[in-house]
């Protein structure tokens, strides 16, 4: 796909949930299916980019034209992001677990009596590391999954993590965004908000890729 809007660029996308082990047989996770992130990776590849997709555990096929690295947990996802060749654009669509469990190396046994309590430790913030690290991609795009005050939280996240754009989506009860086939997204930049109607995740991906190409090539952000 040479000559597309992202031709010559390397795009790194994270997608899906992470699984954080409780013990060798149990884990904590979230409801991300990877549909949105995988659609973005596919759209970027169709636009001519070289794409590295770093995917948590999902039930989806690898999108065509992408190099796909499969990971299990947040720390592995960070390591894969850091091991990837330098990116021009980073898009963090994964729902990375904020906390992991101080995992037991042996299966926890009911016979040991009493309910165990799980000690949680904070995971590294992959998006913030990318946005604030050396070899910063020229465009760093995060997502914000919120259940209320979507735009305010997105603007706070943009500033706190140091990214250029946040795609904010409302994942409140009844929205059907986690796991569903459509999404209602707002593209939040330092200077404004562009709200899109409810679209299929593929259409959201195509719009996002088109906007990123414009922005990367010097047109104004919203
Ligand atoms: O996978 P689907 O079923 O298609 O659903 C899509 C989606 C709702 C998961 C997706 O559109 C989305 O919103 N992804 C981000 C979900 C999320 O974890 O948001 P957050 O507000 O917790 O995190 C904000 C940003 O920081 C995200 O870009 C996230 O990738 C990143 N992050 C968060 C925590 C962490 N430890 N490291 C990170 O990089």
Assembly ipTM: 0.98
Whether the predicted model's global pTM rises above the 0.90 cut: yes
Q: Using a 6 Å cutoff on CB, does residue 40 contact ligand 1?
A: no
Q: Using a 6 Å cutoff on CB, does residue 81 contact ligand 1?
A: no
Contact yes or no for 15/40 (Cβ under 8 A): yes
pLDDT recorded at residue 111: 84
* CA atoms of 145 and 183, how far apart (whole Å): 11
**Does some domain include residue 222?**
no
Tally the domains of the chain.
1
Task: Provide the domain limits for residue 182.
Answer: 10-108+115-216
State both tokens at 100.
Answer: 């992991």
Closest ligand 1 atom to Cα of 178 = 3
- For the domain that residue 139 is a member of, what is the CATH number? 3.40.50.10300
pLDDT recorded at residue 221: 57
Instruction: Produce one character per residue of 145-180: b if its CB has 16 or more CB atoms within 10 Å, e if not.
Output: bbeeebbebbbebbeebbbbbbbbbbbeeebebbee
**Does some domain include residue 121?**
yes
| CA-to-CA separations, 219 to 51, 212, 213, 215, in angstroms, rounded | 22, 10, 9, 5
* CA atoms of 6 and 219, how far apart (whole Å): 14
Series of mean pLDDT values for 10-residue runs along the chain (222 residues): 86 98 95 98 98 98 98 98 98 98 86 88 98 96 94 96 96 91 96 95 98 89 54
* CA atoms of 182 and 124, how far apart (whole Å): 29
Atom 33, ligand 1: residue with shortest CA distance:
96
State both tokens at 211.
Answer: 């906007």
**Does some domain include residue 2?**
no
Atom 31, ligand 1: residue with shortest CA distance:
127
pLDDT recorded at residue 103: 76
State both tokens at 69.
Answer: 């690295």
Q: Using a 6 Å cutoff on CB, does residue 56 contact ligand 1?
A: no
**Does some domain include residue 5?**
no
Atom 5, ligand 1: residue with shortest CA distance:
178
């Amino acid at each position: 796909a040479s000559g597309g809007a992202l031709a010559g660029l390397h795009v790194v996308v994270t997608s899906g949930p992470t699984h954080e082990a409780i013990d060798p047989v149990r884990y904590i996770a979230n409801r991300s299916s990877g549909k949105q992130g995988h659609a973005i990776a596919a759209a970027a590849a169709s636009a001519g980019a070289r794409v590295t997709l770093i995917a948590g555990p999902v039930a989806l096929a690898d999108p065509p034209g992408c190099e796909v690295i499969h990971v299990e947990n947040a720390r592995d996802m960070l390591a894969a992001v850091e091991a990837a060749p330098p990116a021009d654009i980073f898009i963090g669509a994964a729902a990375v677990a904020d906390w992991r469990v101080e995992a037991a190396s042996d299966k926890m046994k009911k016979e040991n009596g009493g309910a165990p309590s799980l000690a949680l430790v904070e995971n590294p913030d992959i998006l913030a590391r990318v946005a604030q690290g050396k070899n910063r991609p020229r465009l760093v795009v995060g997502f914000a999954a919120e259940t209320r005050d979507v735009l305010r939280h997105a603007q706070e996240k943009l500033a706190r993590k140091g990214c250029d754009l946040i795609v904010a989506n409302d994942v409140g009860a009844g929205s059907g965004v986690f796991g569903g086939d459509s999404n209602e997204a707002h593209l939040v930049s330092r200077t404004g908000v562009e709200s899109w109607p409810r679209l299929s995740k593929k259409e959201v991906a195509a719009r996002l890729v088109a906007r990123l190409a414009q922005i990367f090539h010097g047109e104004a952000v919203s």
